[in-house]
Structure 1
Amino acid sequence: MNNRIKRSTVLSTLAFTMASLSLPASSQTEAQNWDSVLQQAQGQTVYFHAWGGSQEINRYLQWAGKEIKSQYGVTFNHVKVSDIAETGSRLLAEKAAGKNEGGSVDMVWINGENFKSMKDNALLYGPFVSTLPNWQYVDKTLPVDSDFSEPTDGLEAPWGVGQLVFIHDTDTLNNPPMSYMEMLNYAKAYPNKLSYPKPPEFHGTSFLKSLLIELTDNDPALSKPVSEADFAGVTQPLWNYLDEFHKVAWRGGKQFPAGTAETIQLLDDGQLDLAITFNPNAVFSAQANGNLSPTTNAYAMNSGALSNIHFLAIPWNANAKAGALVAINFLLSPQAQSRKGDINIWGDPSVLSKQHLTGSAAQTQQFKSVAEPHPSWQSALEQEWLKRYGS
């Protein structure tokens, strides 16, 4: 499908969804438009599909749901999924069935490959981002209009900043490996003490991408759509590394943690010397909840931390578009972003400018950024990893 066809499909989808939402004419003021959205949202129920693998995030969303109900009369239901690709498949099935209204999904938490897939298949409502009253508070110096090098085109609103970092206990490992080659040497010196989540789990795939970037000195091919000609040559150092690493990894590389929560548990139990997370402040919330020792600390490799923005979007056929707009706008408010960034609650780095934040959210730590590869590399890496090591 060429870009002209894609754009026309998105525009026709937008025309349909705008009509179904019955927003006022563009000649009216933005305030009047938003008042109309608030009125339509009253009494709606929003089904928000989002990863459910973190107690801290789940508790935060429970709080957000109570606030959205209290302030706007909108019921906010967190539908927990293990991989948002499951939601993408559901939306594709609804598209194929011609279900262009009354869809089962009202909001999604996405980025990267999942966003590109939904965008390419015209599964998203919008553009809507610049119509949100709280858009004014977003830090525009962040890459909030691009997702893994794919332009967002106003189809998803930035929600937070993610960075791939490691957690260690300073009591047992005071000088952690600062590069992936040091990590391999450490694993050989101390077998059965390092691992990573099993791809295609998000943190496992992120580990593969971060490792590949360092091993290839960020090969320029990684910023372009993957090709069969490039893939084998560019990724060979990755497979050579993993072949060596798995021999000395936790459980001999025959079993892998299910996700970041399990690596944190294994670190706390003393089975692993490093846990992995995509939130540089997750260590603080884990300490506050008693899941990690106060002597634990997060760090990034010397080369930097794989970084991206994560986003909120609305499917083209959402049943509660107005409610979803209200919910997203609330989640971008200084109140919600300050609570989300509180290191004792979630600690997710905010997308708002610092002057709009209160408490620890205004001081959350971030590391030197390493850009994500083109989203097409993700699926290719996952498939090859599963072929080599998935059994």
Structure 2
Amino acid sequence: MLGLLVILLLAACNNPFKAKTANPDKPLEVPGSLSDASWDEIVADAQGKTVNIYMWGGSDAINRYIDDYMAPMVKQQYDVTLKRTPMNAPDFINKLQVEKQANKQEGVIDIIWINGENFLTAKQADILYGPFTNQLPNFNDYVDQNDPSILYDFGLATEGYEAPWGKVQFTFAYDSAKVANPPKTFEELLAWTKENPGRFTYPAVQDFTGSAFIRHVLYNETGGYEQYLKEDSTLGDTSKVWEYLNALKPNLWRNGTTYPENLAKLDQLFASGEVWITMGYNEARASNMITDGIFPETTRSFVMESGTIGNTHFLAIPFNAPQKAGALAVINALLSPEAQIAKYNPKQWGEGMAIDVNRLNDVDKQQIAAIDPGVATLPMDVLSKYRLPEISAKHVEQLNEEWLTNVAGR
């Protein structure tokens, strides 16, 4: 009996995932890689920890979803305290790069919200932990792992270093009390701005919405997106893009002498009536803004006849995340049917789900079917018809740099 007791005590001491109460915020010393742990061991290690998620904070609806819905959920399910820190992706990517260069092995960030050029930068700088998605039960059960928009992020293979969080499509919003017939082509948009000077603008390209807007112009002015999807593709001659944007420039808000620094600023201009059209990823944005009392009730949405860009956004774990097990638990919760359906509901957030609806049970499907997407949200069949793919992140970076020289710098 005594020998058995000694063996049991030794096994307990050698269990790297056994909960400790002396300092619950300090990660356990795990020999080897966390990737070798079972899910039960990961959950045990996450218990009692505080997980810090760094993410863009420009949407009240998204912030509420994290603070008021997800934080209580992960506290109940995993006894994890979720804390949100608002920060733009380029800023936290730069912070992690500095820490990598300084060989700082324990940082303060556990989860980051990224995609596109920020993922490209992070992968090139080797500042991400992974691969990890294969360890997430909800990823394995509910995500279509053959979906190209999940396998690739702006043309770059995700390889398990990102977990999909949601799918969005770029839409324009307008005040129907002031704009009877919104422009449906970029040619009509140019004509409309001449007839309504100062009533349109777009964010500077340092903001992801402004960057996306000029990619639409690229597609329109250079013959479509297909040429940019090839692995060895280049941007080529972009002069027509700058010709169009510079023709648009004098008709913009403040005569194009300045641009809103971010989407939040553009939305403020729209809400105050200074501009009559706004834009952004997330097809339910306009409905959410009406519900929140920010946009006028006469706000409606439209897409260009040439289409609008849709993409998937992701969650990743930094290389020096202090609570990697806790991060895995939180990301798994964010991929649960419960969390994804709540996120789809405009009363919470109102954006497309990252999980495959066909993998859900009948009760979940009925719950989705009963959700009202909102008065200003375009039908899913319309959005699907006009959905365009993203191009390589390397093209995005180059296009943004050229805009600074050829448009903002003129």
Fold match (TM-score > 0.5): yes
Distance 1:37 1:47 in 2: 17
- Partner Cα separation in structure 2 for residue 22 and residue 199 of structure 1: 38
How far off is 1:118 after superposition?
A: 1.3
Residues in 1 aligned to 2:289 and 2:212: alpha-carbon distance in whole angstroms: 21
Q: Is the 8 A contact 1:285 1:347 kept in 2?
A: yes
Q: Is the 8 A contact 2:245 2:407 kept in 1?
A: no
Aligned-residue offset at 1:220: 4.7
- Is contact 1:23-1:36 (8 Å) kept? no
Counterpart for residue 235 of structure 1 = 238
Match of 1:35 among 26, 34, 40: 40
How much has 1:70 moved relative to structure 2? 2.6
CA distance in 1 between counterparts of 2:133 and 2:103 reads: 26
- Name 1:369's counterpart in structure 2: 387
- Aligned-pair CA distance for 1:327: 0.4
Quick one: which of 155, 158, 174 aligns to 1:152? Answer: 158
Match of 2:121 in 1: 117
| Runs of at least 5 residues in structure 1 that lack an aligned partner in the other structure | 1-15, 25-32
Instruction: Please state if 1:77 is matched with 2:77.
Output: no
Instruction: Confirm or deny: 8 A CA contact 1:222 1:374 kept in the other structure.
Output: yes
Residue aligning to 1:187: 193
1:330 counterpart = 2:333: yes
Distance 2:173 2:371 in 1: 22
Is 1:380 the equivalent of 2:383?
no
Q: 1:35 to 1:382 in 2, by over 3 A?
A: same
**Normalized against structure 1, the TM-score is what?**
0.87
Task: Give, in whole Å, the separation in 2 of the partners of 1:148 and 1:323.
Answer: 28
Distance 1:175 1:362 in 2: 28
Q: How does 1:155-170 map to 2 (within 5 A)?
A: 155-170=161-176
Per-residue CA deviation, residues 240-282 of structure 1 (Å, 9 max, x unaligned), is 0111101111110012223223323322322112111101111
RMSD between aligned residues: 2.2
Going from structure 1 to structure 2, the CA distance change for 1:137 and 1:272 (only over 3 Å counts) comes to same
> Which of these residues, 202, 219, 224, is aligned with residue 196 of structure 1?
202
CA distance in 1, matches of 2:370, 2:164: 16
Letter in 1 for 2:240: P
8 Å Cα contact 1:178-1:300 kept in structure 2:
yes
**Would the aligned equivalents of 1:343 and 1:360 in 2 still touch at CA under 8 Å?**
no
CA offsets per residue over residues 313-350 of structure 1, 9 Å max, x none? 11122110000000000111111111111112211111
Which 10-residue stretch deviates more, 263-272 or 180-189? 263-272
Residue 241 to residue 226, structure 1, CA distance change in 2 (3 Å) = farther
2:362 is the counterpart of 1:349: no
CA contact (8 A) 1:341 1:361 kept: no
Contact 1:69 1:76 in 2 (8 A): yes
Counterpart AA for 1:120: Q
TM superposition shift of 1:78: 1.0
Greater Cα radius of gyration, structure 1 or 2: 2
Contact 2:207 2:263 in 1 (8 A): no
5 Å-filtered alignment, 1:275-286, equals 275-286=278-289
Within a 5 Å distance, the mapping from 1:167-316 to structure 2 comes to 167-218=173-224, 220-224=226-230, 231=235, 233-316=236-319
Letter aligned with residue 40 of structure 1: D
Equivalent residue number for residue 17 of structure 2: none
The 5-angstrom pairing of residues 131-146 of structure 1 reads 131-135=135-139, 136-140=141-145, 142=147, 143-146=149-152
CA 1:325 to 1:362, structure 2 compared with 1: closer, same or farther past 3 Å? Answer: farther
Gaps of 5+ in 2: 1-28, 374-378
With structure 2 as the length reference, what TM-score do the two structures score? 0.83
Residue identity matched to 1:385: W
CA contact (8 A) 1:342 1:361 kept: no
Identify which range, 149-158 or 359-368, moves more after superposition. Answer: 359-368
Q: 2: distance between equivalents of 1:349 and 1:296?
A: 20
Which deviates more from structure 2 when the two are superposed, residues 371-380 or residues 131-140? 131-140
1:23 positional shift: 4.0
The change in CA–CA distance for 1:333 and 1:93 in structure 2 (over 3 A counts) is same
Taking the aligned partners of 2:180 and 2:332, their CA distance within structure 1 comes to 42
Amino acid at match of 1:110: I
The Cα of 1:381 is off from its aligned counterpart by 1.7
